[in-house]
Amino acid sequence: MMAMGEKRGWLVAVAALLAILMVGGSVGSEAGAWLAAAIGAAALGRRWYRARGGARGPVVYCLRCGETLAPTARQCKFCGSASWSMKN
C-alpha cells in the first residue's frame, strides 16, 4: 500500500499534466510556454522570499505569563497554562 505522500505526488503530477494540456489547447503553445515561465518565476520568487525569513505566521503566546510558545504547543512549559492567543 502506498504512503500518503506518494499518492499525493501522483495526484499532483496527473493534475499538472492535465492543466498543461488544457492551457496548451486553449491559448496555444507559445502563450502556454509564457504562462509556464511566469508561473515558474513566481514559484522561484516565492521560494526565495520565504527562504529570506519573510511571511511568518502569527506568534502564539501564553495568556497567563506572556511567554512565546511553539505554534504546536498544547500548554505553556513555564506556567503550565493551556490558555493561549495569537499576536499578528
Query: How many folded domains does the chain comprise?
Result: 2
- 85 in the same domain as 61: yes
Structural domain range at position 69:
57-88
Q: Chain-centre distance of CA 68, in angstroms?
A: 23
- 47 in the same domain as 8: yes
- 45 in the same domain as 82: no
Give dist(CA 35, CA 43) in Å, integer. Answer: 12
List pLDDT tens digits, range 14-65.
888 888 888 888 888 888 888 888 988 998 998 888 788 765 677 888 888 9
- 47 in the same domain as 10: yes
Task: Please tell me the predicted confidence (pLDDT) of residue 41.
Answer: 92
- 14 in the same domain as 44: yes
- 63 in the same domain as 47: no
- 12 in the same domain as 43: yes
Contact 80, 64 (CB under 8 A): no
